[in-house]
Structure 1
Amino acid sequence: MERELTRSQINRWRRYLANERAEAAVYRELARKRTGSEREILMRLAEAESRHEMYWRQRLGEFEGMPRQPDLGTRVLGFMARHFGSVFVLALMQTAETRTPYVDDDDAPDAIAADERLHAEVVRGLAASGRERMSGGFRAAVFGANDGLVSNLALVLGVLGTGMSSQAVLLTGISGLLAGALSMAAGEYVSVRSQGELIDASTPHPSAHRLLESVDVNANELALVYRARGMNAQEADERAAEAFATYEREGSAQEVMDHGESAEPTGGAVEAAVSSFGAFAVGAFIPVIPFLLGASPTVGAVIALVMVAVALMCTGSITGLLSGRAPLPRALRQLVIGLGAAGVTYALGTLFGAIVA
């Protein structure tokens, strides 16, 4: 005979039921906007969440009651899936699946808790391609915005520490914005372009397959080519033997010496440069807004600090969300680092102002 359910259990299980139902809907909505293998995987995840939903319905029995609202976070996920369907939703789902409450609940079966953890790994894999597609431009944008916020705030506070007027601070801030944005754009362009050139230098030559038609090469020598490209000795010997067999059978060396896919740099150099320039400019513009509006040095510094603090926490949160981690610790980390750098610069500016006074 089963023990009678407590009010706490009923409420908790009803919440689980509502969340499982909502998470299944999120996966179905994401699947609706995708095709092929991704769509099939998301639908399978939705079916798994529906099984969990059925489990809690059976456990509740007559106590199931009227459908209730899921948690706020799950409702936000549903809204984002319906209106955006981006990698942000998958990243948030990864976090939600990883931090499942079933792990610490004795009423929840170990199998369901394990399912949720496994779902997190599936979602991690689905989100990986989206993260890779946006990593180049997004990385440049996030770093650019963060650098603009921190460096120009530090510059503004540094010159404020020397006792300069609001007008001088404004001109200094605008100069820092332009110089920093151009420097960031140039650096990102050179960095990404150089990365692409290095990858090209390591990519097999497109006409290498023609060597079999004109050079006195044997299977052992061809195996050395494959070993140099990363295969172990056995794999290289097997691939070389297969290559020669194909060449003798078909009379063509096309694709015989091809092996694997060369890595591609994430995003173009121009895209990274433009993203970095725009993001740095936006970030660097925030600390000078109060002075552009005519604020006094003290008032302008306080307003700039507050605005930059909010912006730093936003960039930190976005980075945390996309990495599948809790956003708050990343936001606080950005805040501490950014304001710490600005504080040190202000102190140095004050010291320098006192020395030259």
Structure 2
Amino acid sequence: DDIHVQLSDRRELSAKLIGSDAPTDVALLKVDASDLPALQLGTSGVLKPGQWVVAIGSPFGFDHSVTAGIVSAVGRSSQIAGQQYVPFIQTDVAVNRGNSGGPLLDIDGKVVGINSQILSNTGGFMGVSFAIPIETAMRSVDQLKKQGYVSRGMLGVRIQDVSREVAQSLGLPSSSGALVFQVEPGSAAEKAGIQVQDVILAFNGQDVADSSQLPPLVGASDPGSKVALRIYRDGKERTVNVTVGAAPRSDADGSSTAQANDDAANPLGFAVDDLSADQRKALDLHADEGVVVTRITGKAARQLRSGDIILMVGKARVGSVAAFKKAAAAAKPGEPVMLLVRRGDTTQFLTVTPAKR
């Protein structure tokens, strides 16, 4: 599919997709043009709750709409599959369909984030919106520009928060840190000697207050780099040196090298992957419910987002990549197909229209 970029002066430019990254929902496009005005990039790391921020976007097709609000929190984790590497900025800025991808600005007019998603029971804005920190987005952009894909670090552990009762049981003085409940065989963590019931207190000198703070720190590390973990084990703090492993990457076409369904050429125009048992548990889904969207092409991008959970295609319930492919193959070119989609806490029907061959 052709990609076109419309500027504020109504010029329309053809764009080339350099690469995309599903976990951060970022794509890098190239246009042949000169003398284009550009916003300055700011620093999201200095944002504090209560600071004013501004969003610009095209909600419901109303171009160049500006809304304002304050930062509600920083470092928020997402419940959407695959986005655990993003420490989202939470704001109360009004964000609706069409704002996604627009800039979040500080009071100096510098870009501190990219508006990404909302939390809503109705599908509309309810006072909770999220933006990708600009440093996180630009890290993805830089790697897409250099190598066509984004590489991330991985420890190979499954973690949870430390409750007050768990802290008391382990003899921890506080309930901070990330409690390890599973170590993947052959992972970087196993090779370094990390054990179940270890509590990770700091990663490479940065304190870990809860389990949501660890994945972004690990993901931002280069595979093969050596880092120090400060852990709590058997009543004592100790330091463990780890050589960071490599997470399954998103290639230039957005597909995962791990277990992705790379057939984005299917009639519906988007690719999906199976949900893990942990993802299903977190989303309260049965074993035969749902697949996660990993890559979108063409007109389907108007309706879907990476991380959406597809529950039905037409009248067929889908709980695996195989079931999705079977349902997608039955779609007729040019005829709309209804999808039952779960996004955050909202479940709704959306439609996509397969391209005519």
- The interval holding the TM-score normalised by the smaller chain is under 0.3
Give the number of the structure whose alpha-carbon radius of gyration is greater: 1
Higher relative contact order (CA 8 A, sep 6+): 1
Q: Normalising to structure 1: TM-score of the pair?
A: 0.22
User: TM-score with structure 2 length normalisation?
Assistant: 0.22
Comparing both structures, which one devotes a greater share of its residues to helix?
Answer: 1
